[in-house]
A and B are shown apart, each in its own frame.
Chain A
Amino acid sequence: MNADNFSVQIKDLDLNFGAVKVLRGLNLDINNGEFIVLLGSSGCGKSTLLNCIAGLLEPSDGQVWIGGKNVTWDEPSQRGIGMVFQSYALYPQMTVRGNLSFGLKNARIPRDEIERRVARAAGILQIEPLLDRKPAALSGGQRQRVAIGRALVRDVDVFLFDEPLSNLDAKLRADLRVEIKRLHTQLNNTMIYVTHDQVEAMTLADRIAIMKGGKVMQYSTPDEIYNRPQNKYVADFIGSPSMNFVEGTIKGGKFTAPGLALDLKGYDFVGGKATDGAAVIGIRPEHVVTGELVSGAPFQTDVTVDIVEPMGSDTLVWADLGGAPFRIRMDGQARVHRGETMRVGLEPARASLFDVKTEERL
């Protein structure tokens, strides 16, 4: 693939704030029209990376390419990007119309063209009735729509979102999430979206870049990230309730640990075949089978129920497996009680194995 096929490319990006290294040798290739989510816990450098792409922060080293052009030294307004901020950042003294047209006026775009673009953006986002209001007279959801509109009117190829929904309440967040997804299918431009919310990441992204300490831990599709996490950090970070980890040893194609003896036949090893030694197995709570399904599972065992957390749609059970707590996700209608013994089944093919030292996937 040559460089023109990429919408955005980050090459060996370093960013230091004084002695603090926030981004370290970061590389990221983003295809045209892709929806990329930067996901990571607070303080891992997501916003910093986004600001570097936007040109609001000067990298200490490395390059940023947008649309096949090296834009590392370009002004934010020349990069062909639009940005949406967490706090909306609407200009308080201007009306919605003023907010939308500010960037276009700065670019000296003819007045009728400005009007056309504002009308189009307002139509797409359904904010026409709000055009003559000031931001103070808008609700949170409306403000965020205007903020998206401000990026929309710029008619750019790349949209940058910095946690655009995290100031909204849960219901509105879900609604706007779908709208952003719809916007993407409609416009088909590249979107880079920062969030610390894994549901947003999984639902929106074509590909997710999971970041930790200024590095990308894994960069692949939501499906791949969920089913084949590349390392223990990603495995632990994605999924709620989070994955169960049990330390043990692999020997002769079998994984053994207190209370567990799993035949690893069917497990897709990274190198193709198993290597003996210490390992950690990760099993998602929702991949533990219960009830009638147990009989079909390759490995079956009895566990004691410790705590039951009913959540309506499903029930989270904390059980005791070989002396360690083990999370099991069951149907919302399951009736289990503390102290009960329950038969569960595990399927090694759906589990993930990690090296104890490097924490990389085996």
Chain B
Amino acid sequence: MRSDRIVIVGAGPAGMRAALVLAGAGLNPVVLDEAPASGGQIYRRQPRGFTRAYDKLYGFEAGRARALHAAFDADNRIDHRSGTLVWNIEGRRLQTLHDGRPETVEFDRLLLATGAMDRVIPFPGWTRPGVYTLGGAQVALKHQACAIGRRVVFFGASPLLPLVASQYAAAGAEVAAVLDTTPLRAKLAAMPGLLAGGKTGWKGLVYLARLAARRIPYRHGITPVAALGSESVEGFAYTDASGRRHEIECDAIAFGYGLKSEWQLADLAGCGFEFDAGNYQWQVVADEAGRSTVPGVYLAGDGTRIGGAELAEIAGERAARAILTDLGDTGQGAALAACARRIGGQARLRRAIERAFPFPAPLARAIPDDCILCRCEAVTAGEFRASIDRLAPHDVNRAKAFSRVGMGRCQGRICGPAAAEILAAARGVEVKEAGRLRSQPPVKPVPVAAFADAAEDAA
């Protein structure tokens, strides 16, 4: 068993914790991550030479981040290969670009801990310079000590909304307003669940309080209208809960509607998928210990089920223990059960968060015809609807073939959720009936030049 090659893709909390558990059992896991350093999204590290302290960077999460970074860095049984993009899976082989050069990594067992990205709904003007995702705005701050503009409007429905806005304010950026698309009554209805959820549930309130203390307006039940301006953002227009239109002057906008799993590699590995009603998105099927439907392929973290960093870390441990069990270690039962209990204990909080920040599907269905839907191929919502009317595609893959929506370089990561809603609306069905965009290798663009150099080396 000890010679099994175990490869983990993703060095976020899920992948790091899994690697630590496996290393603790005497194994030597390989950890691949595209990023230059471990940490993933939430515990993303700043580049060398930056000097901000942990509590400045990670706030409430500073202790956890420091502990995880330190343990991971100290463990020399972990073979962490940063700067490694995994762009394809063929059988038991991963195809990677390591510092821009193609390499093949073989595995016997694979843990996919590929994390998540922002889920967005296009709105008029969203391709203009100055409009970013909430996560993107946070990366600018955490990783680069920059704000995305001088005066920023934050909007959407996402746990990141109050968080990133208050991080911006604390770092000295001007926050023009925080505008939540969720109606106040929905937020209030979710409150008991949030408050029962322990520390994590309370954090959200702390962010709100901090925003209030700085007299930053926080509005509920808004509907975005447009990013104003020509060459770049000059303002944001929205309607309030009573339908009245407002305009705010700003030079940057950050928005998002929760997170969306990065499951392309799981798709290429052949894993099964299911539509998760709570998260309102397709997720990879995992059993109670994190095994996918493909033998030898395991799952953990936000790439499998959106749940946040704390859950990701537990799920990482759980998957590692499932691997150990499958390798013949019979002593993992109690620890696995403990993981299951901890994960189960967060279920109520998770549902409350889903309810507090619901995906506003009607907004996606109502994207105006002249608004760009697919920013890779510059296809408007109207063009997409026209192709649906004309060619009557049954699912998003057909719709993509007819319209090029989802065919561009992001492979539908950005426009996919909204496109599925528009198709579902046109067909008069629930969004899950519109299907799921199939992934194609490479999961991210790979430069032709990288292969050329490899071919020269081989010759």
The judgment on whether A and B are partners is: no
Partner-A contacts on B (CB < 8 A): none
Partner-B contacts on A (CB < 8 A): none
